[in-house]
């Protein structure tokens, strides 16, 4: 039997490729996760012996740091299992989504399969257990994880995670949440079962009632129940039905838990996720939509736009606009989104805190529909700008900024980076000028010295190159000059 720890103790490379540094997790039922250095990315291999004493920054400078999930010897594969392992890896590898952390490579060494994954230095959401208190932070978590689940569940056939819990939601470098450990042993399509001998295929405290039935098939709804249990634990510090999970809920009739201090919308959402009957639970897509609108249950799209339109008309004193309009409840107001945007922008540019807050609420509602100009205005408000308009907004909101005009609060900087990143990923060619500005701003965070983000020149260069493509399309010569100066600094 292969002794994995000997590779870390002796310095021998695992599979002649990876320098194991230390275990990140040994609590999984089937595998251990190790922090490792990809030796093939190291130019000066004579320094490999120094790896155990290096700081994280020194490791980054030496080579590519990764996480390796190594399946334990008892889970060795037979020939048929090995082929399924390869097939499944190829399927999962094509699952590209912001809120999924999928493996970048796989192999089998001494009959033990292993996966190579990006390393998330911020760890998992386990560190947030009992500490997630603010509504904005909770909705952010719900949107990110639900979006990842919605992507998995939309595959054909659906990929069912089967082990959603705080430890399997990692936090990336810009504080987005990403589901991990969803591949290889999580998909069942009726043609074959699971690849590894895992007694539970999950963690009991997060297992839905139906999963305790004999020969239960994987259901997307079971992931939703586990997500509800995860949310409750993050908010209260404890799982909702004890260590027996859904079994205690239905067989021992443990009542539905509450989370003190949580808004009614979030409490309703958690209870809906924890519904005993799988058919009564919301879909992941519905949860993501609820998070974007910050309400549960979600109002119909029609009601959402009517509310937003009426608010816009009232704010500009447009009561007369209502005169002569149809009273037919089936007819929606024909208010162009551009008009609503301009109304919100007008409110945000008034030198008055109450007006600014109203404008932000309107702009936030518009941004939830992926209207790119609105997303950018939110990022412009919270982001790192010396522009007098952005600075004035921050000061009205009481956001403390340093001498370089950057918010001192990690929360505001992370919010801005998340919004810029969202614009870049939407990749909407209608807004080439905004896309260019968003990518340029992201580059600034990773290239220019600041107290929030560590330098990452490779990532900064990638954003500059993206910005150049969009700025060229938009014909923005001023920005192109800035970009070229930035790129020249890398040479």
Task: Give the number of C-alpha atoms closer than 13 A to the C-alpha of residue 55, restricted to the C-beta side.
Answer: 2
pTM over 0.75? The answer is no
Average pLDDT over residues 287-305: 77
Strand partners, 170: 124, 178
Q: Is 335 helix (H, G, I), strand (E, B) or coil?
A: coil
Average pLDDT over residues 421-448: 91
**Tens of pLDDT, residues 321-355:** 434 444 444 444 456 788 888 888 888 888 888 88
DSSP 406: -
Structure tokens at 249: 């809920």
Q: Does the pLDDT at position 198 exceed 80? A: no
Indicate which residue of 3, 78, 87, 163 is catalytic. Answer: 163
| Range in 95-99, 137-141, 240-244, 367-371 with the lowest mean pLDDT | 95-99
Query: Prior bond to 297 cis, omega within 30?
Result: yes
Residue 97, pLDDT score: 84
Q: Is 430 helix (H, G, I), strand (E, B) or coil?
A: helix
Distance of CA 100 to the CA centre of its chain: 7
DSSP 434: H
Structure tokens at 322: 């209502």
CB 378 within 8 A of CB 419: yes
Residues 450, 415: Cα–Cα separation, whole Å:
16
What average pLDDT does the structure give for the chain?
A: 82
% of residues, the chain, pLDDT over 90: 38
Torsion of CA 296, 299, 305, 308, to 10 degrees: -50
Residue 194, pLDDT score: 41
Query: Any catalytic annotation for residue 38?
Result: no
Q: Does the pLDDT at position 187 exceed 60? A: no
26: closest CA among 89, 88, 78, 68?
68
Structure tokens at 135: 């509504």
C-beta atoms surrounding 253 within 10 Å: 7
């Amino acid at each position: 039997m292969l002794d994995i720890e000997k590779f870390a103790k002796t310095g021998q490379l695992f599979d002649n490729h990876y320098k194991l540094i230390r275990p990140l997790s040994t609590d999984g039922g089937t595998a251990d996760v190790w922090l490792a250095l990809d030796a093939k990315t190291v130019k000066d291999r004579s320094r490999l012996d120094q790896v155990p004493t290096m700081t994280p920054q020194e490791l980054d400078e030496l080579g590519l740091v990764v996480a390796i999930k190594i399946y334990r010897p008892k889970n060795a594969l037979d020939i048929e299992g090995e082929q399924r392992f390869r097939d499944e890896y190829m399927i999962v590898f094509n699952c590209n989504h912001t809120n999924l952390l999928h493996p970048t490579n796989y192999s089998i060494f001494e009959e033990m399969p292993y996966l190579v994954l990006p390393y998330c230095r911020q760890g998992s959401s386990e560190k947030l257990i009992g500490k997630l208190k603010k509504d904005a932070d909770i909705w952010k978590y719900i949107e990110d994880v639900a979006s990842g689940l919605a992507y998995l569940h939309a595959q054909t056939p659906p990929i069912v995670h089967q082990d959603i819990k705080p430890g399997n939601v990692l936090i990336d470098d810009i504080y987005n949440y990403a589901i991990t450990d969803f591949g290889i042993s999580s998909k069942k399509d009726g043609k074959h079962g699971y690849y590894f001998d895992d007694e539970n295929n999950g963690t009991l405290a997060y297992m839905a009632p139906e999963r305790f039935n004999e020969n239960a098939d994987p259901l997307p709804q079971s992931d939703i129940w586990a997500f509800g249990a995860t949310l409750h634990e993050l908010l209260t510090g404890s799982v909702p039905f004890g260590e027996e999970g859904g079994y205690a809920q239905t067989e021992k009739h443990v009542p539905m838990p509450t989370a003190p201090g949580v808004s009614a919308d979030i409490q309703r959402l958690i209870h809906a996720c924890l519904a005993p009957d799988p058919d009564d639970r919301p879909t992941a897509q519905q949860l993501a939509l609820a998070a974007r609108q910050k309400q549960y249950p979600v109002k119909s799209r029609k009601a959402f736009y009517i509310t937003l339109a009426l608010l816009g008309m009232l704010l500009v004193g447009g009561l007369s606009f209502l005169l002569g309009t149809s009273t037919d409840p089936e007819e929606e107001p024909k208010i162009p989104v551009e008009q609503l945007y301009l109304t919100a922008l007008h409110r945000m540019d008034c030198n008055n805190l109450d007006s600014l807050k109203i404008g932000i609420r309107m702009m936030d509602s518009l941004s939830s529909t992926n209207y790119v100009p609105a997303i950018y205005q939110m990022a412009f408000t919270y982001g790192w700008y010396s522009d007098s308009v952005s600075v004035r907004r921050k000061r009205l909101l009481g956001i403390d900024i340093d001498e370089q005009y950057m918010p001192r609060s990690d929360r505001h900087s992370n919010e801005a980076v998340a919004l810029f990143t969202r614009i870049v990923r939407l990749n909407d060619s209608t807004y080439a000028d905004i896309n260019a500005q968003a990518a340029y701003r992201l580059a600034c965070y990773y290239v220019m010295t600041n107290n929030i983000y560590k330098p990452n020149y490779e990532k900064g260069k990638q954003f500059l190159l993206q910005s150049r493509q969009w700025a060229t399309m938009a014909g923005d010569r001023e920005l192109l000059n800035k970009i070229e100066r930035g790129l020249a600094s890398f040479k």
